[in-house]
């Protein structure tokens, strides 16, 4: 049986992306569950893979797509049977194992999470790795003891995938959210999601003093570089910062002062290899704490053929919220 997939190949070191017709026999043998993917998405990392901007893909040819949601067609894994609705995030899928920007994927049953009650496969991909990472960030802050009474929470990269879902979650949980964005024209969108105040990201993106006026109880950062450093410098005594992303840069040109003079804590967030128990907790909490109308407001939908352009757009910081991909159109 043939299926359509976003196939990445490499030619003289350059990545080429195309929608191709493949045969099920071509799917790599590794994996014990065959999934009819219904929806995938375009995350920042998918943009890196599709454009070849960073060496995300480590086997060629590769089917793109680090996220997928769909229905099990066949399984020899004890936990899954035909008809089950499943969600896949990360585990190197779309990097070292053929991914889910595809109508079919052969995946390991150990990687799959059951679609939470109340979510469609489209909802799960509207959330995707970006949204599930936003939830992992909020969970990390909660484990470290943060409550809404502690004070304001800064969200950087606010109009992006991680940022927009983080705003929606924190707003619903009762936090006063300050959104840092380069798209100040999106202020109304960010306020509707749950932000109380908008600041221009330029105020955070250049080198600053190691200790600045104490303001935030916590930060959810997906931007890295000087933005993360300035965020650390503006967190109050004993405050918390989660770091998951590098939209500004992978560098961290920081000073020790906030850590040793204000006792702030930097919490690293990884979604790709996060343990299964934490994934399941994150998905359950998303089902509980992400308001459906806010998820709908931050989601746009495209077909598989549009995913290449969306991958290019996300690299330019041009995507608002989350892009869900209907792989069957």
Q: Which helix (H) or strand (E) holds 4?
A: strand 2-11
Q: In the chain, what are the helix, strand and coil shares in percent, each to the nearest 5? A: 35, 30, 35
Q: Is 17 in the site for ligand NAP (CB under 6 A)?
A: no
The burial of 211, by beta-carbon neighbours within 10 Å (0-12 exposed, 13-18 middle, 19 or more buried), is given as middle
Sheet holding 2-11, edge to edge: 14-23, 2-11, 62-63
The token duo for 320 is 């608002």
Q: Which region, judged by CB under 6 A, interacts with ligand NAP, from 10-18, 25-33, 180-188, 255-263?
A: 180-188
Binding-site member from 124, 135, 244, 298 for ligand NAP (CB under 6 A) = 244
User: Quick one: 36 or 190, whose CB is closer to ligand NAP?
Assistant: 190
- By the rule CB under 6 A, 201 interacts with ligand NAP: yes
Give the range of 18-26, 42-50, 102-110, 303-311 binding ligand NAP by CB under 6 A: 42-50
Q: Which of 127, 160, 157, 130 is nearest to 313 (CA)?
A: 160
Among 31, 157, 171, 258, binds ligand NAP (CB under 6 A): 157
By CB under 6 A, residue 205 contacts ligand NAP: yes
According to DSSP, the β-strands at 33-41 and 67-75 are antiparallel
Per rule CB under 6 A, is residue 228 in the interface with ligand NAP? no
Q: Is 125 in the site for ligand NAP (CB under 6 A)?
A: no
Q: Which is nearer to ligand NAP, 102 or 180 (CB)?
A: 180
Please identify which residue in 314, 324, 325, 327 interacts with ligand NAP, judged by CB under 6 A: 314
Which two tokens mark 72? 């099990």
Restricted to residues 268-297, the positions that interact with ligand NAP (CB under 6 A) are 269-272
Angle (nearest 5°) at CA 135 between 129 and 138 = 145
Concatenated DSSP letters of 274-329 = --HHHHHHHHHHHHHHS-HHHHHHTEEEEEGGGHHHHHHHHHTT---SEEEEETT-
Task: Determine, following the binding rule CB under 6 A, whether residue 245 of this chain makes contact with ligand NAP.
Answer: yes
Q: Closest distance between ligand NAP and the C-beta of residue 302, in Å?
A: 14
Q: Which of residues 71-110 bind ligand NAP (CB under 6 A)?
A: none
Smallest gap from residue 76 Cβ to ligand NAP (A): 29
Among 43, 75, 121, 137, binds ligand NAP (CB under 6 A): 43
Handedness of CA 242, 245, 250, 253 (dihedral sign): negative
CB of 102 to ligand NAP, least distance (A): 20
CB of 29 to ligand NAP, least distance (A): 27
**DSSP classification of residue 77:** S
Q: Is 44 one of the binding residues for ligand NAP (CB under 6 A)?
A: yes
Query: Which residue has tokens 């949601």?
Result: 69
From 17, 72, 88, 130, residue interacting with ligand NAP (rule: CB under 6 A):
130
Pick from 103, 159, 242, 265 the residue near ligand NAP by CB under 6 A.
159
Least distance to ligand NAP, CB of residue 82, Å: 31
61 preceded by a cis bond (ω within 30 of 0): yes
Q: Is residue 129 within the footprint of ligand NAP (CB under 6 A)? A: yes
C-beta separation of 163 from 220 below 8 A: yes
Q: Report the distance separating Cα 277 and Cα 249, nearest Å.
A: 30
Binding part of the chain for ligand NAP, among 104-112, 143-151, 161-169, 275-283 by CB under 6 A, reads 161-169
Q: Which chain residues interact with ligand NAP by CB under 6 A?
A: 43-45, 129-130, 133, 157-163, 181-183, 201, 205, 222-223, 227, 244-248, 269-272, 314, 317, 319
């Amino acid at each position: 049986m043939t299926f359509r997939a976003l196939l990445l190949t490499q030619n003289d070191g350059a990545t080429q992306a195309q929608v191709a017709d493949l045969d099920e026999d071509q799917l790599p043998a590794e994996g014990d569950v065959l999934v009819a993917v219904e929806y995938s998405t375009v995350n920042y990392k998918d943009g890196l893979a599709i454009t070849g901007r960073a060496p995300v893909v480590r086997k060629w040819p590769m089917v793109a797509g680090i996220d997928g949601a769909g229905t099990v067609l066949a399984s020899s894994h004890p936990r899954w049977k035909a008809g089950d609705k499943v969600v896949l995030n990360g585990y190197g899928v779309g990097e070292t194992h053929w991914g889910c920007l595809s109508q079919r994927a052969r995946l390991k049953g150990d990687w799959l999470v059951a679609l939470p009650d109340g979510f469609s496969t489209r909802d799960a991909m509207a959330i995707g790795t970006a949204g599930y990472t936003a939830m992992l960030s909020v969970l990390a802050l909660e484990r470290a003891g943060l409550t809404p009474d502690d004070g304001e929470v800064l969200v950087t990269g606010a109009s992006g995938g991680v940022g927009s879902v983080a705003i929606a979650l924190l707003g619903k949980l009762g936090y006063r959210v300050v959104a840092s964005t380069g798209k100040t024209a999106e202020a109304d969108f960010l306020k509707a999601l749950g932000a109380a105040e908008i600041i221009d990201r330029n105020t955070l993106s250049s080198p600053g003093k190691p200790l600045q006026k104490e303001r935030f109880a916590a930060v959810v950062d997906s931007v890295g570089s000087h933005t993360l450093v300035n965020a650390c410098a503006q967190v109050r005594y004993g405050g918390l910062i989660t770091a998951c992303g590098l939209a500004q840069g992978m560098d961290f040109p920081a000073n020790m002062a906030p850590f040793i003079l204000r006792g702030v804590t930097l919490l690293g967030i990884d979604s790709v290899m996060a343990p299964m128990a934490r994934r399941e907790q994150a998905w359950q909490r998303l089902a509980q704490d992400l308001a459906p109308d806010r998820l709908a407001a931050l989601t746009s939908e495209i077909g598989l053929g549009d995913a290449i352009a969306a991958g290019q757009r996300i690299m330019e910081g041009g995507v608002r919220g989350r892009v869900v991909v209907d792989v069957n159109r």
